[in-house]
């Protein structure tokens, strides 16, 4: 189930980033916030700038505020830069990597695939999108699910145009499988975010 109740195109325009392939054309046609006053000037306080950046990151991973806050709490306990640890924490969620692998077209579809029990990790079914993968973990589509339409599309590279496969993944789309080789580095993660502003938001 999605954590975003508003239409995705409106969320994308409000945050200034396209969230799905479908929203790209709408975003390009109307690159300003939705609503009657979308084109008008708006005053941006320091707080609002940080809030919007946090909302951007939340939206790209389709997280609730509670999930986001918990991820930040875990990230700040990690040695090194908290912002980079946060991105790595979010990126190694099972639903995030199902998206990055090209098995799913959007984060929403990736989450649905996991929740509906189509995904296995190291040979066992996992239906929790927030499941954290570690280097060496292997993810596959369950044998009984491979003939379903979304997976047939993925196997033929139907989602490949949505972005390049990150270097931290070893992907075999024909087998509908991938392996997390190592922890993601921030510069490799294709999310639009100034993570330092997110850290400042939660540290206020």
Convert the pLDDT of each residue in 33-64 to its tens digit. Answer: 555 544 555 667 899 999 999 999 999 999 99
> 73 CB contacts (<8 Å, ≥6 apart)?
none
- Note the pLDDT tens digit of each residue in 89-143: 999 999 999 999 999 999 999 999 999 999 999 999 999 999 999 999 999 999 9
User: 1 pLDDT band (50/70/90 cuts)?
Assistant: very low
**Model-wide pTM > 0.85:** no
Q: How far apart are CA 23 and CA 4, in angstroms?
A: 15
């Amino acid at each position: 189930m999605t954590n975003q109740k508003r239409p995705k195109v409106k969320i994308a325009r409000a945050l200034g980033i396209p969230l799905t392939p479908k929203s790209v054309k709408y975003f390009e046609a109307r690159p300003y916030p939705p609503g009657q006053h979308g084109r008008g000037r708006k005053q941006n306080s320091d707080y609002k700038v940080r809030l919007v950046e946090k909302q951007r990151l939340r939206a790209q991973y389709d997280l609730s505020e509670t999930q986001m806050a918990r991820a930040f709490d875990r990230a700040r306990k990690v040695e090194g830069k908290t912002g980079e640890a946060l991105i790595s924490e979010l990126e190694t969620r099972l639903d995030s990597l199902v998206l990055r692998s090209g098995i799913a077209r959007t984060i929403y579809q990736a989450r649905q695939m996991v929740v509906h029990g189509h995904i296995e990790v190291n040979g066992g079914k996992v239906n929790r999108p927030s499941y954290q993968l570690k280097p060496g973990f292997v993810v596959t589509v369950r044998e009984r699910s491979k003939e379903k339409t979304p997976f047939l599309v993925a196997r033929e590279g139907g989602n490949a145009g949505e972005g390049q496969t990150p270097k931290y993944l070893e992907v075999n789309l024909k087998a509908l499988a991938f392996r997390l080789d190592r922890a993601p580095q921030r510069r490799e993660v294709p999310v639009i975010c100034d993570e330092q502003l997110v850290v400042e938001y939660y540290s206020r």
